[in-house]
Structure 1
Amino acid sequence: MMEDLVPLSDTEFNILTRMLFDRFGIHLGDQKRVLLSGRLSKRVRETGCGNFSEYIDYLRTDPSGREQTELINRITTNHSFFFREGEHFAYLKDNVFSRIEEAVSKRSPPAVRIWSAGCATGEEVYTIAMLMRSHFGNRIDGLDIGLLATDISVAALSQANEGIYQESKLKELPGEWKRQWFTKAGPDQFRISDEIRGMVLFKKLNLMETPYPMKGSFDVIFCRNVMIYFNAQSREHVVNAMHKCLKPGGVFFVGHSESLNRETCPFEYVKPAIYKKGEGDRGIKP
């Protein structure tokens, strides 16, 4: 309720938003003042601080960095569900899996690396894992597949690792998938199977801290509904960093509410929210 909000002055708002931008690339304009106050007021009280100025001092002097983690957990929104934006998964199956099939038929199965960046609570990457299991069947055991999922929120990653979801999150899933890879975990709750969960490696990662520490490059990167938090400069920084992480010919997915600047974007446009790295492209375009 509004009366429960801790007052947030202009100076305090500017300090907090600058901190969020400098450390995490998150851009919050003045219209987000109520959102910021609403999401942090309870935390201010939990830490024993009397106001936002004291909380800012607490953030700055916390040597463990745990409060920074708590800050980002409170600020970011991790709304997702299984099979969200299904046309992306159809494209993945028709255009990426088909290339894998072709290589398998020639008895030269490739290593396949897919990265879910800003994975939230795991619905996206688990959808990819189930799609691969469904498409390749038992043949998947003969493939070298790596699924990496990263997020800045420790709370979101913890939930993703646990793999328990409200039934409403499963509404877009094929019924067969729900029966095959989920078990009842409580009232209106379902747990994803160890078979699917074991395919994914979850890691904490701040997308603004480049270069990224991954070894090798990826065939596919999903970075959907993440850059809505960024300004144009931060978006360009992240897109260029991810371009370096993709193999030539690799596919880059963004959210439908996100568009990349055609003038500066290093990727080739395929269709709305789908881009690719040129086959002969091994670096950032000048």
Structure 2
Amino acid sequence: MENSFDKGYQLIKAELFRHLRVSQDAYKDAYLIRRIKARMRKLGINSYMEYYKLLKRDRKELDELLFTVAINVTEFFRDPVVWKRFQQKILPELVDYKKSKHQMTLKIWSAACSTGQEPYSIAMSLYEVLGDNLSGFRVSILATDIDRDALSKAMKGEYPKDAVESQVPKHMIPKYFIKDNDRYRVHPRVKRLVRFQYFNLLSSRYPKGFDVIFIRNVLIYMKKEAQEEIFEKLYHSLQDHGYLILGKTETILGKSARLFKLYDLVARIYRKNLEVK
């Protein structure tokens, strides 16, 4: 890999992961090099060692790099086919299952939620599908990320007018947002369904008992070994009837493939494989 053996790059990587609290082999070098080079170009720096020295004396730049590496490009209702399947197939199936078992809880996890558009899209989908029936369920949407700045933006629930108007179906905007000059605020009834929390996907202890887990467009940046560990832990975090929703360019490979059964190839949705010994 070009540049990956450079001493300055290795020092930057060590510094980065010391603060992110993840192991140095978790992310692909190609991804890290792209992110680091983008910061270096912006500052007019050509050498990794020079940039490393800047990181050591300038905490603000280190924070910028941490944000650049951890950031997950996100938007409301990203990849419409996923939301169509979620609203038209998964939620109705889930509700029927819950009613048959006399269980009136819905527990969903948005892992790597970035600035909050995904968990709020989940909450809006629940209102759209269940309407008045939503009050009959105890709903819990856990939204986690490793980036504290992104989480703090997510908790505010304020987004630029252009982003909301170009991403959210028109009929939903007045129902779930409050206009505030050139921004939109997420309506309190949507916000109350979501709980934001710091979480590192490479940690050993995972929350459990979820009906649906969204983990989209984050695993592609990680090495295969790290992905396999995460899939193993996600398997145990899902209820037996649960659904796992990945990003459209992601798939489950290697040893982890036996843990899940494909439910929808186009939308990259999987179910737990209960035959795993």
C-alpha change, 1:277 and 1:193, in structure 2 (3 Å) is same
Give the superposition deviation at 1:41.
7.7
Structure 1 residues 9 and 248, CA, compared in 2 at 3 Å: closer, same or farther? closer
CA distance 1:22–1:242, change in 2 (3 Å): same
Gapped regions of structure 1 (runs ≥ 5): 1-7
Question: How far 1:107 moved relative to its partner?
Answer: 8.7
Q: 2-side partners of 1:263 and 1:237: how far apart?
A: 10
Q: Does 1:13 align with 2:9?
A: yes
Q: CA deviation at 1:154?
A: 0.9
- 1:270 equivalent to 2:263? Answer yes
**Unpaired segments ≥5 residues, structure 2:** none
**Superposition RMSD in Å:** 3.1
Kindly provide the CA deviation profile for residues 122-170 of structure 1, in whole angstroms up to 9, marking residues without a partner as x: 1111011011112211221221111000011111111111111123332
When structure 1 is superposed on structure 2, of 15-24 and 191-200 the one drifting more is: 15-24
Q: Does structure 1 residue 222 correspond to structure 2 residue 214?
A: yes
Q: CA 1:34–1:276 in structure 2 vs 1: closer, same or farther (change >3 Å)?
A: closer
Identify the range of structure 1 (263-272 vs 152-161) with the bigger mean alpha-carbon deviation: 263-272
Equivalent residues in 2 for 1:106-255, closer than 5 Å:
108-170=102-164, 171-187=166-182, 189-212=183-206, 214=207, 216-255=208-247
C-alpha separation between the residues in 2 aligned to 1:100 and 1:133? 14
CA distance in 1, matches of 2:271, 2:61: 38
Greater mean alpha carbon deviation, residues 8-17 or residues 152-161: 8-17
- For the 8 Å contact 1:100–1:109, the answer to whether it is kept is no
| Helix, strand or coil at the partner of 1:264 | helix
1:68 to 1:53, Cα distance in 2 relative to 1, 3 A: closer
Specify the alignment match of 2:27 in structure 1.
26
**CA apart distance, 1:194:** 1.0
1:38 matched residue in structure 2: 38
Q: How many residues align?
A: 262
Q: Is the 8 A contact 2:71 2:147 kept in 1?
A: no
Quote the residue 1:97 is aligned against. Answer: 91
Structure 1: how far apart are the matches of 2:25 and 2:111?
14
Deviation at 1:96, TM superposition (A): 3.0
| Counterpart-to-counterpart distance in 2, 1:225 and 1:232 | 14
- Greater Cα shift, 13-22 or 174-183: 13-22
Say if 1:107 and 1:223 are closer, same or farther in 2 by CA, change over 3 A.
closer
- Report % sequence identity: 24
Cα distance change, pair 129–231 in 1 and its aligned pair in 2 (3 A): same
Deviation of residue 197 (structure 1)? 0.9
- Residues of 2 paired with 1:258 and 1:135: CA distance? 27
Measured against aligned partners, the alpha-carbon deviations of 1:26-73 in whole angstroms (never above 9, x if no partner) come to: 2222x7535304336879x9xxxx9434356569xx9xxx99766422
Change (3 A) 1:40 1:141: farther
Q: Normalising to structure 2: TM-score of the pair? A: 0.82
CA distance in 1, matches of 2:25, 2:53: 21
Cα distance in 2 between the residues matched to 1:35 and 1:82: 24
Amino acid at match of 1:22: S
Query: Normalising to structure 1: TM-score of the pair?
Result: 0.79
